[in-house]
Structure 1
Amino acid sequence: MIEAQAQGSEYIDEACLLVGKFLYNFSIMEKGVDAAIYKLFDLQPEYAPIISLNMDFARKVNILQNASVMRIFDQNETERQKFDKLTSQMFGINQPFRARIAHAPFEPDGKDAVIFAGTKTKNGKQVAGLRITRQTFNDLFGEMRQIVAEMRDVLAKIRPLSAVDDVSSLSVSELRSSVSDLAGKMREFEEKWRAERNVDDWEEGWQARSLAQSTRRQADWRSELQPQAVMLLNEMRRRLGQPQSHEGEAIYRMPDFALMPIEQGSLAGANPLHEAAMEMERLARSLLEVR
């Protein structure tokens, strides 16, 4: 039905122009995301499409988002927050707009809007149709052009993973300084979460809220600070001749229970990160000024 109506509409050319212009701008934006992925993984141009052509847009953006969280980019906190906003914009354009525009039949709704047909999800749920006005299209075009411009700045700040700092090259004093900086961040992280927790909140639903907050706290720890902590801990253990942890496997021997937040990502107990920070500092003090 929609095909028959579209073929007979006097505004079909205008509708096709808007749809084509959207897909063109989206492809330029995705090309910028691809370039960032290629640089991050130091991919050779002839092999890079093996990755980009077999990965959907949202997964690509997720990779860049995680790299930013793990401080792979040369960003300060303000720039990182700006990039988080940029990725949120990309997700917002991808879904629902790109997903519907790229895959659904459409027809003009007069000269100033396009209607995209509804569809069904894999589980059979009906998704309503989507009407996009000419003004919304123009807003999306401008937003995508702005994202493309900002992605050029992001590209300049990306360090290939192969070039990420190797802590094995640090002097003992530099390693101790890195551990001291991390320990401070760990304590700040724990204090921040303690301040947000309301122990007197006994209203209905407090258990669910507390569980959600605990889950988010652990996820933030694992993405923001744990990777660096594991790297520094393993380097200290290597220099001290101690077994190292790999792939999140904890080594159960005293006094390393204090380091379980680093080895396992678990934040059990009253002050797990304060205790882990103290143990990291103790190990740093044990290092000799020889390598």
Structure 2
Amino acid sequence: MFPSPMTVLTGLPKEKMLSHYRLRFEAPCVLQNNREIVDEKTGVTNYFTGLFLCRPSGQGKSMLIVRFGNTRGSPLIKLFPKWYFHQNACKVFEQDMGFLSSQNEILMKEKVPTKELYLNLKSSDTWVVEYRKWMDKVGHGMPYHFGHGTIWLPQEPAVVEHAPAGLVAGISASSPAKGGIGTMHAPNFSNRYFRHVIHCKGCRTVVKAFEAWKKGLSAVAVALTALAILVSGRQWKTILLVSAALCSGGAYACSKAIAMNTTNFIRTHRRL
């Protein structure tokens, strides 16, 4: 282990509280984020913690397990479902995943350690730098490693065969770390659906429920539109068409909710 503790003391004048903030990184894959906030009025100490565990799941792949806890929860949090927070967390992780996977591809191509290619800023990349330096010390006992000053490439390239045969398979398998193509039938592990939803019972149940509601509301909207065409009364036509529009709006909302749980985050400047 190569622990890299860091303690930062900050004050929150607006809330009149004292904050004690501590990050602890233990290579290779344990990061703990603890925060203690003391209310000056009541003297009560509230605790917030986040634990990040990462385990390898194959060459070029890993699984991240995250747990959060606190003793002072906001009542507004109860207004949002858990799947909403899960998809927001996925959005944060996906922003880093694209950069790290691209960096890994460049390291494989250039065959040089990170310090030869990147300017590692301690203000933003402290944990990445410490991890790379730890790999310099222990990487010689591993099949391959990418360190800060040393590098040892894998003897065999990673083979990615996650999708069924066909054009979609070729697209999803050729660039496994660039982000999913959004199709749920191509089991690409960089796609949010296959990376998170299939492993999370809550999100998996929610997606199935939204899909069922989408189909039901779409069918009802079509039926109401057909009835509006058949009836002769203007008042009934208006009622049926308005009801069909509401059902269509509900189906569209279900589609957006499904997309939130299955589509990867793409930065604005790369959406064009």
TM-score strictly above 0.5: no
**TM-score, normalised via structure 1 length:** 0.23
Larger RCO (CA within 8 A; separation ≥ 6) = 1
Say which structure is richer in helix.
1
Say which structure is richer in strand.
2
